[in-house]
Structure 1
Amino acid sequence: MRGRLIFPFLAELRRLDTAAMAAGDPDGAGPLVSGFDLDFKEPALVDRDGDGVAERERVELPPIRVPCQVEPRVFEDLRLLASGDSPRSDLSLVFHFRDLERLGLVDAATGDALI
């Protein structure tokens, strides 16, 4: 028996498509050759409109909804705030491995979760 989530919520996750970002050249003739920075593991910054402020070049996979459980302490902290806005910005979500398998979010070769 593998257990279950006690108070499940649906989390909508928007994952970066790092392969599509790495394949594209975001600034054309500029110095960048990829839209994904492999050193920092984040989207490259490109100034598209010439205002001196760079924007992130993002390509996302389609959003997925995954059943999850919000860690009790974090959930209680958020409930105490009137607007849910807090300078503390971390949030702990727990996923059931069975749900990840069902949604194809487990690497078949290694058995590791892809999120």
Structure 2
Amino acid sequence: MYGLSVRWSLAEAPAGVDAALREYVHDTSLAKFSGMDGLRFKTWRTRPGEWFEGTYVFETAAARDTFATWFAEVAADSPGSKIIGSAPVFQEPFDVVAVAEGGSGFAAGPGPV
């Protein structure tokens, strides 16, 4: 599997950005990526007030690289960048060594509100 991390800094983002990002992910972005061809899964991560990140895991390197090239071209105008008020600070490909499913199972859908 082949991963991609895209991270935005929230250091200078407007007040309320954490709630706005959570609302956007829950209401729009989650559905956009659910069932996306070539994507195994996507995780949205945040450290409120510090950073916001999309972590993607693709089936093939080609699927990851195609998405990464496209996203690099549009990232500054993406919905996340508009909500945050700035473009991502980095976009980094990586290899996934392994994924373990724990005893509680894998759960897709929104996280805590």
Q: TM-score range by the shorter chain?
A: under 0.3
Of structures 1 and 2, the one scoring higher in RCO (CA 8 A, sep 6+) is 2
Give the number of the structure whose residues are more often strand, by fraction: 2
Query: Larger C-alpha radius of gyration, 1 or 2?
Result: 1
